[in-house]
Amino acid sequence: MSLRPDDRRAARTASAAVTREALAELRHELNRMIDRMDAFVREAAASLQAASEGRFHRQFLLEGVPGSFRTSATAINRARTAMAGTADRAAEAERARLRLADELESTVMTVAEQVAAVQSAAGEGTSTIETISRTVCDMDDLARGIATAVDGGDGGRAGRDARGLADMAERLRAEVSHFLTVMRGN
Amino acid sequence: MRASAIRPTGVERTFAPDEIIVTKTDLKGHITYANDVFLRVSAYSEEEVLGQPHSLIRHPDMPRCVFALLWQEIRRGREIFAYVVNLAADGAHYWVLAHVTPSAGPGGQIVGYHSNRRVPGEAALRRIRPLYASLTAEERRRSRPADAVEASTALLEGTLKEHGMSYEEFVWSLAGQEAAR
C-alpha cells in the first residue's frame, strides 16, 4: 500500500527535522570536545608557565575538567606543589648559607683579633709564638676553606658536599682545641 | 540591541560544575563563537550573539574597573582570571569565574580572545559581592565613565594593598578553593 502525497510530504518534513536536530547535537558534541581540549591546553601551558616564573599560587583549576583531562590536570598540580616545595627549600638553604657565612666570618675575625693580642703581649722569638703562628695559619686555611665552600666559591662542589664541610669544621675545632691547650701552657 | 532594554530581574541562574561556558571574540571583542552552555545560560540564540560585542551580557552591578584590568592584561598577551556577574537575555544573572586568554595566530600575533567560564564557589562570591558593590558605588559617584574607572581602580588597588596582595594573588586566594574542591 502506497502513502498518499500528503503523508509522504509529512514524512519527509519529519525526517528532515530529525536530521537537523541530530546534526545540531553532533555539532555541539564536536564543539564540546574541541572546547575541552582547548581549555586543557591553555590551562596546562599557563599554569606551567606561571610555575616556571615562581608564581606558584596559579593552579590548574579542576572545575569543568573531566575524565583523563582531570587526571592529567591533577598531575600538573602535584608537580606545581613539588616545585613550590623545592623552591621554598632552596630559598631556606640560601638564607641558612648566608647566615653561616656571616657567623663564620665573625668568628674568624674574633679569633684573629685575640691571637694578635696574645702575640703582642708575649713578645717575639719564643717557641710558643711559633706554635701559635703555625696553629693560627692552619686555622685560617681551614676557615677559608669552609667559607669558600659555604659561599659556593669553589663552583659549588664543596658546597654540595656536607661531609666535606663537616670534616673541615671538625679539623678547625681540633685546631682551636690544640691552640687553647698551647695557650694554657699544658 | 535588546541588551540595553534588559532589566535585571534578580533571578540567579547557574550551571553544572562539570560544564564550561566558552566564547571567543575577535580583537574588538565581537563574539565569533559561543558554545551551547553559553546559549542556554545566557538565554540567547546563536544568531542573536554572533557578531555582537561581548558587552551584550554586561550586568550593571559589574565594576568597570575589572573589565578595564581584563582588557589591559589580555592586550598585553597575558591571561587573566576574574569573577564576573553576567546578565542573561531574560534578565536573570549568573556568576562565573572567567579565564580569558589571547589566541595567537601562526606568527604568534594575537588574533582574538578566548574565555572559559566555570561556576564559582559560594565562599569566593561571599568575598567578591561586597567588594564589587563598593567598586560600583564608587563608579556611580562619577558622571564621566573615565573618571568612574579611575576612581574604582584606585579603590581596588587600595583594597588590595591593604591585604598585601596583587590582583592575581587575590583572585587565586579565592580561586584556590575551587582547585581544592
Taking the C-alpha atoms of residue B89 and residue B139, their distance in angstroms, rounded to an integer, is 24
* pTM flag (> 0.95): no
Cell of B78: 597575558
Residue B22 to residue A39, Cβ atoms within 8 A = yes
Which residues in chain B have their CB less than 8 angstroms from residue A30's CB?
none
Which segment of A61-75, B21-35, B128-142 scores lowest on mean pLDDT?
A: A61-75
Taking the C-alpha atoms of residue B98 and residue B21, their distance in angstroms, rounded to an integer, is 9
For chain A, give the mean pLDDT. Answer: 78
Residue B36 to residue A57, Cβ atoms within 8 A = no
- Report the pLDDT value the prediction gives residue A163, as an integer from 0 to 100: 66
Residue B172 to residue A66, Cβ atoms within 8 A = no
- Report the pLDDT value the prediction gives residue A182, as an integer from 0 to 100: 67
- Find the chain A residues whose C-beta atoms sit closer than 8 A to any C-beta of B: 28, 31-32, 35-36, 38-39, 42-43, 46, 55, 57-64, 66, 77
The answer to whether ipTM exceeds 0.85 is no
For chain B, domain boundaries: 15-180
Taking the C-alpha atoms of residue B176 and residue B168, their distance in angstroms, rounded to an integer, is 11
- Contact between A32 and B16 under an 8 Å Cβ cutoff? The reply is no
Taking the C-alpha atoms of residue B151 and residue B41, their distance in angstroms, rounded to an integer, is 32
- Report the pLDDT value the prediction gives residue B57, as an integer from 0 to 100: 96
Q: Which residue has the cell 592586550?
A: B75
Name the band, by pLDDT with cuts 50, 70 and 90, for residue A9: confident
Count residue pairs from A and B with Cβ separation < 8 A.
64
> Looking at the domain that runs over B15-180, which CATH code has it been given?
3.30.450.20
- Report the pLDDT value the prediction gives residue A105, as an integer from 0 to 100: 77
- Contact between B86 and B94 under an 8 Å Cβ cutoff? The reply is yes
Question: Smallest Cβ distance to A64: which of B20, B36, B173?
Answer: B20
- Report the pLDDT value the prediction gives residue A16, as an integer from 0 to 100: 80
Amino acid at position B87, single letter: L
